[in-house]
Amino acid sequence: MIKIEKRNDVSPSIYFLTPILAIFLTLFGGGIIFFVLGFNPLEALKFFFITPISDLYGFSELLVKATPLCLIAIGLSFCFKSNNWNIGAEGQLIFGGIVGGGVALLFYGHDGFYVLPIIILAGAIGGMIFAMIPAVLKTYFNTNEILVSLMLVYVAKLLLDYLVVGPWSNPEGFNFPETRQFSESARMPTLFDGLRIHAGIFITLITVFLSWLILYKTYLGFQIKVSGLSLKTAKYAGYKGKTMIIIVFMISGACAGLAGVGEITGPIGQLHRNISPDYGFTAIIVAFLGRLNPVGIIFASLIVALTYLGAETAQIFLQVPKYTGQVFQGMILFFLLGSDYLLFFKIKFLGLKKNEL
Amino acid sequence: MYKNFLRYIISVLFFLGVSGQANADFKVGFVYVGPTGDHGWTYQHDEGRKAVEAAGIKTTYVESVPEGADAERVIRQLAQSGHDLIFTTSFGYMDPTNKVAKDFPNVKFEHATGYKREHSNVSTYSARFYEGRTLLGHMAGKMTKTNVIGYIASFPIPEVIRGINAMTLAAQKVNPDIKTKIVWVFTWYDPGKESEAAQALIDQGADVIMQHTDSTAPVQVAEKAGVWSFGQASDMQRFAPKSILTSIIDDWAPYYVERSIAARDGTWKQQDTWHGLKEGMVAMAPYNSAMGSDLVKEVEQLQKDLASGKTHSFTGPIYDQKGNILVAEGSVADDGMLAGMNVYVKGVEGDIPQ
C-alpha cells in the first residue's frame, strides 16, 4: 500500500532550493538525452549552456531574450499569486504590440524625444485593456478566465495578421505581410554599439522593483497574497474581490503589453506576424520557476532564455535538433512540479496487512 | 625529450595554421524557416544543402528559425562561428540578413526571394516558378470539365500573383471558358487551413486544384475528392498518386553547389539571380500518364519552348480584369513588370486582398 500525506511544515530554504534542484535534474536528464541521441553529453551541454554566453554579444542576446520573459512573468505573478489563471499573456503581448505599433506608424517620420514614451505607454495600455476582457467577464459574468484569456490569444493573432496583411502593410513592400520599419525616433535606444541590448531592460528592472514594492510592502500586495492562500479568508476579511481581480489582470496585461512594445521597438523595428515566439506562454514556466517571486523570476527568465540560445548554438555546432530547447523547457517544468509535489506531500510505503488480502 | 615535444607541437600548430588558410575549413550555413521534413519549401532547400555537402563542402543548418527577432541572432552566430557563405532561405530574413552582412564584410550572404542587396556581400536569388505555372495552366485548361480551376494562394505578393496570372493565361489559351477561383490562406504552411481551402474550392465546382503553399494537405484532399491536383516545391506524387498530374520542383542544388564553390575559390560576386526551367532551378516532376500521351507530349514540347525562350509565359496581348491592356500584342512582359506584378489578368475571379 502507498499512502500520500500532506506535509505540515515545509522549510522555506528548501522551497527556494527546489528550482535549483530542478535545473540540475534537467541538466542530468538532458545529458542522458544527448547521450541517447549519440552526442557526447558533456560537450553537448557545454554548447547548450556555456558557449551561447561565452562572449559579450551572447550575453547581450541573453538579456534581449530574457527581458520580455521576465517582464511578462512578473505581471503573471500578480495573477497567479491571487489564484487568477491568466493564460493569455501572449495575446496581451500581441495586442500591446498592435497598439504600440499603430502609434509608431502614426508618428512615422516624426522626430522628437516624446515619440517613444508615447508608444511605450500606448503598448502598456493596449495590453492592459486586452487583459481586462477576461477579468471583467470573470467578475461580472462568472466565466472561466483560463478559457477566455487563452482564446483571446487567437483573436489578437488574427487581428495582427489582418493589420499587417491589409491596412497597415508597407506601401512600398510589394504586399509582403509587414509594416514599414519604424522611424529612428520610435526605436528603443540600444545601450552599446553593435549589441542589441536596449533600454527595455531598464523598464523591466523598474517593473521588477515596483512589483516587489507592491507585493511585499503595500496593503494591495497583502490582499493579493491572502486571496491566493484562501479566498474564503479574503472574503471574510472584507476585501473587495472583484476590484482586485481586475487590478491584477490590468497589471499583468500592462506588463505583457510592455514586453510586446519592447520587442517591436527594440530588436524587430516593425510589425509583422511573428513578433513573439510564444513568449507569453513560456513566461508561465518562468513565473513558476521563479516561485512567483520578483528576484526569482529574474533568474528564471535568464535560465529559460538560455535554453533558447542553447538550442540554436547546439544546432549550429553539433546539428542537435532545434526542438531540444523546448524539451529542456519541458523538463525544467516537469522536475520543478515533481519536486514540488514531493515537497508538499510525502509518500508512505505501508506494509500489506493480512486482512487486506 | 621536452624540446622535441615542443617542436612537435609547434610544427602541428604551424601545419594547422597553414591548412586553415588553404580553406580546408570553408563552411556554408543555411537558415530554414520550417522543419526539414515539411516535404515542401524547406525540404527542397535541404536537398540543395546535401548536394553542397556531397561536393565536399562542410555545411551547417538551423531549422525552424522564426522570422522575428531571433533570425538576426542565428544568422550572426553562423557568421561568427566561421561560416563563409550563408544562405537565408525565407523572405522574412531579408532585413536581418542585410543587417548582419554589414558587420561581416568577409562573409558572403545569399537571401532567397528578397529584393534588398544593401551591401556588396549580399546576393539575392529566386526561381521563375511562373514558368512551371504556365505548364500547370495548360494541363488544367485541358483537363477541367467544370471549367473552374481552384487556386490556394498564400500571400498577395508579386511572386504569388505572377503564378496565378501565368497559370490563368496558359489555361485560357487552350480553353477560353476557364475561370480561376482563389482562396487566400495567408500562410505558407498550415495543413489544416490548406485542406479547408482545397475542400472549399472543390465545393465551388473546381475539378483541378493547385497550391502556392507548402504542405501536402491540398493534394491529399484532391485525391480523396477525385479531382486533379499539382504538387508544390517537391515531388508530392506519393501523397496523391492518382490525383497529381505533376509537381513544380524547386531545384536549388545546382545553384547552391555553384555558389558555394565560387565562394570557396574566391570568385563569388554579388548578383541577383532569377533562374527558371532553362537553368533547371524550376523542374517538373514526371507527368501523370492519366492525362493521355498526346497531352503529355504537348506539355513536354511547351516545357522545351519555355526553357529555350521560344515561348514566354507572359506574351501579349494580356488584359487586366477590367479589360485594360497590360502587355501589347507581340511583346512580352519584362522582368521589371514581373517583379512588381500586382494586378490580376482577365479571367481571374475576385480582388487581390489589400
Nearest one of A169, A190, A166 to A180, comparing CA atoms: A169
The letter for the amino acid at B8 is Y
CB spacing of B353 vs A268 below 8 angstroms: no
Q: CA end-to-end span of chain A, whole Å?
A: 11
Give the C-alpha distances (Å, rounded to integers) separating B349 from A81, B148, B180, B182, B208. Answer: 55, 10, 6, 7, 15
The span from the CA of B218 to the CA of B221, in Å, is: 5
Q: Would you call A355 exposed, middle or buried from its count of C-beta atoms within 10 A (0-12, 13-18, 19+)?
A: exposed
pLDDT by residue for chain B (354 residues), tens only, comes to 455 554 544 444 444 444 444 456 899 999 999 888 878 899 999 999 999 999 999 999 999 898 878 899 999 999 988 999 999 999 889 989 999 999 999 999 999 988 889 999 999 999 999 999 999 999 999 999 999 999 999 988 889 999 999 999 999 999 999 999 999 998 888 899 999 999 999 999 999 999 999 889 999 999 999 999 999 999 999 999 999 999 999 999 999 999 999 999 999 999 999 999 999 999 999 999 999 999 999 999 999 999 999 999 999 899 999 999 999 988 999 888 898 888 999 989 888 887
pTM tops 0.80, yes or no: yes
Q: Would you call B147 exposed, middle or buried from its count of C-beta atoms within 10 A (0-12, 13-18, 19+)?
A: middle
Whether B290 maps to a domain, the answer reads no
In A, which residues are within 8 Å of B72 by CB distance?
196, 267
Q: In the numeric block, which cell numbers belong to residue A239?
A: 476585501
Strand, coil or helix: what is B329? coil
Residue with cell string 524550376: B282
Nearest to B69 among A263, A309, A316 (CB): A263
CB spacing of B155 vs A176 below 8 angstroms: yes
Same domain, residue pair B138 and B244: yes
Pure H helices in B104-210 = 129-143, 158-174, 191-203
Nearest to B77 among A161, A274, A312 (CB): A312
Determine how many CB atoms are found less than 10 A away from the CB of residue A300. 28
Contacts with A7 (C-beta within 8 Å, 6 or more apart), sequence order: A343, A344, A345, A346
Which residue in chain B is spatially nearest to A314 when comparing CA positions?
B62
Question: What digits encode the pLDDT tens for the residues A114-137?
Answer: 999 999 999 999 999 999 999 999
Q: In the numeric block, which cell numbers belong to residue B189?
A: 504552411
CB spacing of B92 vs A274 below 8 angstroms: yes
Same domain, residue pair B145 and B183: yes
The angle formed by the CA atoms of residues B255, A172 and B329, to the nearest 5 degrees, is: 70
The span from the CA of B41 to the CA of B188, in Å, is: 9
What per-residue string of b and e applies to A233-257 under the rule 16 or more CB within 10 Å gives b?
ebeeeebeeeebbbbbbbbbbbbbb
Q: In the numeric block, which cell numbers belong to residue A76?
A: 503573471
Nearest to A277 among B66, B157, B342 (CB): B66
Whether B90 maps to a domain, the answer reads yes
Residue with cell string 542522458: A32
In A, which residues are within 8 Å of B77 by CB distance?
312-313, 316
Which residue in chain B is spatially nearest to A160 when comparing CA positions?
B186
Q: How far is B153 from chain A, CA to nearest CA, in Å?
A: 13
The residue segments making up the domain with residue B50 are 15-127+252-275
Nearest to B157 among A61, A174, A267 (CB): A174
The span from the CA of A339 to the CA of A197, in Å, is: 35
Cβ atoms of residues A15 and A336 within 8 Å: no
Residue with cell string 508579386: B158
Same domain, residue pair B194 and B322: yes
The verdict on B205 touching A (C-beta cutoff 8 Å) is: no
Q: What DSSP letter does each residue of A18-55 carry, written as one string?
A: HHHHHHHHHHHHHHHHHHHTTS-HHHHHHHHHTGGGSS
Nearest to B81 among A61, A196, A317 (CB): A317
Whether B136 maps to a domain, the answer reads yes
The per-residue pLDDT of chain A, averaged, comes to: 89
Q: Which fold has domain A2-356?
A: ABC transporter involved in vitamin B12 uptake, BtuC (1.10.3470)
Nearest one of A256, A253, A283 to A131, comparing CA atoms: A253
Q: How far is A268 from chain B, CA to nearest CA, in Å?
A: 5
Contacts with B173 (C-beta within 8 Å, 6 or more apart), sequence order: B137, B138, B141
The span from the CA of A66 to the CA of A60, in Å, is: 10
Look at phi and psi of residue B233 and say left if phi exceeds 0, alpha if psi is from -120 to 50, else beta: left
Q: Would you call B269 exposed, middle or buried from its count of C-beta atoms within 10 A (0-12, 13-18, 19+)?
A: exposed
Q: How far is A53 from chain B, CA to nearest CA, in Å?
A: 12
The verdict on A90 touching B (C-beta cutoff 8 Å) is: no
The verdict on A308 touching B (C-beta cutoff 8 Å) is: yes
Mean pLDDT for A99-110 is 94
Mean pLDDT for A336-340 is 85
Whether B58 maps to a domain, the answer reads yes
In B, which residues are within 8 Å of A316 by CB distance?
29, 60, 62, 74, 77-78, 81
Which residue in A316, A317, A324 has the most chain B C-beta atoms within 10 A of its own C-beta, making it the best mutation to test that interface?
Answer: A316
In B, which residues are within 8 Å of A323 by CB distance?
64
In Å, how far from its chain's centre is CA B48? 12
Same domain, residue pair B118 and B136: no
Which residue in A172, A197, A261, A322 has the most chain B C-beta atoms within 10 A of its own C-beta, making it the best mutation to test that interface?
Answer: A322
The verdict on B289 touching A (C-beta cutoff 8 Å) is: no
Q: In the numeric block, which cell numbers belong to residue A141?
A: 459574468
In chain A the beta strands, taken as DSSP E runs, fall at 2-6, 345-349
Q: How far is A255 from chain B, CA to nearest CA, in Å?
A: 19
Strand, coil or helix: what is B76? helix
Same domain, residue pair B112 and B27: yes
The verdict on B352 touching A (C-beta cutoff 8 Å) is: yes
Nearest one of B155, B32, B99 to A173, comparing CA atoms: B155
In chain B the beta strands, taken as DSSP E runs, fall at 27-31, 58-62, 85-88, 108-112, 122-127, 148-153, 179-184, 208-211, 228-233, 244-250, 272-275, 282-284, 318-319, 325-327
Whether B295 maps to a domain, the answer reads no
Residues pairing with B126 in the sheet: B274
* Residues counted in chain A: 357
In B, which residues are within 8 Å of A275 by CB distance?
68
Determine how many CB atoms are found less than 10 A away from the CB of residue B205. 14
pLDDT > 90: percent of chain A: 50
Question: What digits encode the pLDDT tens for the residues A225-283?
Answer: 888 888 788 888 888 778 889 999 999 999 999 999 999 999 999 999 889 989 999 99
Q: Residue B165 sits in a domain of what CATH number? A: 3.40.50.2300
pLDDT band at A163 (very low <50, low <70, confident <90, very high): very high
Which residue in chain B is spatially nearest to A274 when comparing CA positions?
B68
Whether B216 maps to a domain, the answer reads yes
* Residues counted in chain B: 354
Which pLDDT does position B1 carry in this prediction?
A: 45
Q: Which helix (H) or strand (E) holds A65?
A: helix A56-81
CB spacing of B74 vs A317 below 8 angstroms: no
- Number of domains observed in the structure of chain B: 2
Same domain, residue pair B181 and B105: no
Same domain, residue pair B188 and B222: yes
Which residue in chain B is spatially nearest to A322 when comparing CA positions?
B63
The verdict on A161 touching B (C-beta cutoff 8 Å) is: yes
Same domain, residue pair B158 and B220: yes
The verdict on A266 touching B (C-beta cutoff 8 Å) is: yes
CB spacing of A315 vs B62 below 8 angstroms: yes
The span from the CA of A266 to the CA of A199, in Å, is: 8
The span from the CA of B110 to the CA of B117, in Å, is: 9
Q: How far is B156 from chain A, CA to nearest CA, in Å?
A: 6
Nearest one of A294, A355, A299 to A332, comparing CA atoms: A299
**Residue ranges covered by each domain of chain A:** 2-356
The verdict on B342 touching A (C-beta cutoff 8 Å) is: yes
Which pLDDT does position A148 carry in this prediction?
A: 96
